[in-house]
Amino acid sequence: MRTTHLSLLFFFLNIFFLSGQNNGFYIQAGTMYDSESNSLVQDRVIHVKGKKILSVEEGDNIPENANVIDLRDYTVLPGLIDAHTHVLFNQELKDDFSKHSIATLVLESEALRALRGVERARSYLDVGITSIKDLGNSGPFLDVALRDAINEGSVQGPRIFAVGKIISSAGGQIYGVNEEYQGIIEQEYRVIKDKDDAINAVREHVNQGVDLIKICADNLPNNTRLTIQEMQSIVETAHDYGLTVTAHSVNNKSAWEAIKAGVDGIEHGFFIADTTLSLMAKEKVYLVPTENSRNYMESYYLPEGSVPGEPTWIDSYITRMQDRLQNAIEKGVTIVAGSDNYTNIHVPRGVSSRDMFRAYFDSGMKPLDILQSSTYLSAKSLKKEKEIGVIQAGAFADIIAIKGDLENDFIKAIEEVVFVMKDGQVYLKEAEGSTSRISDME
């Protein structure tokens, strides 16, 4: 380890031992990203005490003998948010989704599944993602359990917004299962039978303490879907309990019907039409376009015997996704960043989820717009824009710093995270692959 690395480590160890004092500590930011205004501002001092930000002031007014974290050489941002994850599900590259889902439910104990999820969740902190929206494929409310374990400090990880079982029509997304074994699917999905059952499903989820509701507006490749009336029952009940509803949708018909039913967001929307995008903008329904970069796509298919550039359909896929994203932006649809990462490409889950930034950038989104989609707009979609995704008084002290030029060298910069704080606890990631963590700063 270089001398500079040791100096940084000793510096943060000093902060660790001093931070228990009543006045908290101060972060000096030479450049800070203001996610609400979507702009970079200069020379801010952030006062943190416990888990919260007490104030954000311009200038360098810091009390004498205060504990100070000097990040003036970096760009300081709110902790990033991945608004579409599946940390309790892990599929190998060549696995069939349906077969792997059944094997997970039948051959993997819930305890083992949860423990494996802990490591995947923790890896998000290493790349500056301090909150995630975990959207099911998580067994019987294991995402809620993992969220609670993180919140109480039993394990380390990002702040989790959990949905529990995905609410769907017959079969869920697990295709090809014989009728006599359909009950296995109900360990992963809450399959509803009619409008009244839809209402009760939401009540069950409320009783289990979920943060929001996820539905499958379509079940492709299973050829079943929820009706508009069933989705309306879900939305009305969820909203009555103060929960938002987001809808998995692949084809245009299901997206249109989900929007008409009153959902708050659409996940994926791969084949969504321009007319539906216009409806989303009108109804203020957000879109989580789960993009993948070319690098990711080629990494995914190389193990199957391909070589870079060989799978020609990737070109049309990338073009279609980029056009869809640009059309959505032009029509005024709110874009919320999400990775939909559940495939093992043999890097930490947080690292592979970070690919979404490259995908959005390659699709023509401007760097600051990508940041806003993964901070303020993501938090707003969760109705948490005063608590996360922002650096302002009263918000949680979820703060990161990156090295490099965000506006002119975005991909390199967003991958050089040198400082991560969540809830006032600090994790230090040093350059050149060497990582140290310091926690429990309160």
> What's the rounded mean pLDDT across residues 266-271?
96
Residues 195 and 298 in one domain: yes
Beta bridge partners of 268: 249
Residues 320 and 401 in one domain: no
Tell me which residue of 285, 352, 361, 296 sits closest to 322, measured CA to CA: 361
Over residues 135-169, the pLDDT tens digits come to 999 999 999 999 999 999 999 999 999 999 999 99
Residues 67 and 102 in one domain: no
Residues 33 and 169 in one domain: no
Instruction: Decide: 251 and 273 in contact? Cβ < 8 Å.
Output: no
Residue 232 placed within a domain: yes
Residue 417 placed within a domain: yes
Predicted local distance difference test score (pLDDT) of residue 298 = 78
Tell me which residue of 173, 214, 169, 212 sits closest to 192, measured CA to CA: 169
Predicted local distance difference test score (pLDDT) of residue 311 = 61
Give the residue from 325, 353, 381 where a domain finishes: 353
Report field, pTM of the whole predicted structure over 0.95: no
Predicted local distance difference test score (pLDDT) of residue 305 = 55
Q: Alpha helix (H) ranges present in 50-141?
A: 97-107, 110-126
* 43 pLDDT more than 50: yes
Residue 291 placed within a domain: yes
Residue 437 placed within a domain: no
**CATH number of the CATH domain containing 126:** 3.20.20.140
Predicted local distance difference test score (pLDDT) of residue 351 = 95
The answer to whether the Cα torsion of 144, 149, 150, 155 is positive or negative is: negative
* 239 pLDDT more than 60: yes
Over residues 303-356, the pLDDT tens digits come to 555 555 556 678 888 999 999 999 999 999 999 999 999 988 889 999 999 999
Beta sheet of 80-85, edge-to-edge order: 80-85, 129-134, 159-162
* 376 pLDDT more than 60: yes
pLDDT grade, residue 61 (50/70/90)? confident
Q: Give the span between the Cα atoms of 352 and 288, in whole angstroms.
A: 17
Over residues 166-179, the pLDDT tens digits come to 999 999 999 999 99
Q: Give the span between the Cα atoms of 81 and 43, in whole angstroms.
A: 24
Residues 237 and 334 in one domain: yes
Considering the chain, what is the average pLDDT of its residues? 90
Q: Quote the domain boundaries for residue 171.
A: 80-353
- The better pLDDT of the pair 427, 40 is held by 40
pLDDT grade, residue 255 (50/70/90)? very high
Residues 338 and 399 in one domain: no
Residues 249 and 144 in one domain: yes
**CATH number of the CATH domain containing 46:** 2.30.40.10
Predicted local distance difference test score (pLDDT) of residue 313 = 77
Q: What is the DSSP letter of 64?
A: T
Q: Give the span between the Cα atoms of 100 and 82, in whole angstroms.
A: 24
* Least confident residue range of 13-22, 48-57, 379-388: 13-22
* 200 pLDDT more than 60: yes
Total number of domains in the chain: 2
Residue 136 placed within a domain: yes
Predicted local distance difference test score (pLDDT) of residue 429 = 55
* 209 pLDDT more than 80: yes
Give the residue from 353, 374, 406 where a domain finishes: 353
Residue 366 placed within a domain: no
Residues 305 and 410 in one domain: no
Residues 223 and 254 in one domain: yes
Residues 126 and 273 in one domain: yes
pLDDT > 90 fraction of the chain, expressed in percent and rounded? 81
Residues 220 and 338 in one domain: yes
Residue 373 placed within a domain: no
Pull the structure tokens for residue 206: 């409320």
Give the residue from 308, 331, 353 where a domain finishes: 353
Q: Give the span between the Cα atoms of 218 and 249, in whole angstroms.
A: 6
Residue 440 placed within a domain: no
> What's the rounded mean pLDDT across residues 2-25?
53
- Token match 């002119």: residue? 408
Residues 247 and 187 in one domain: yes
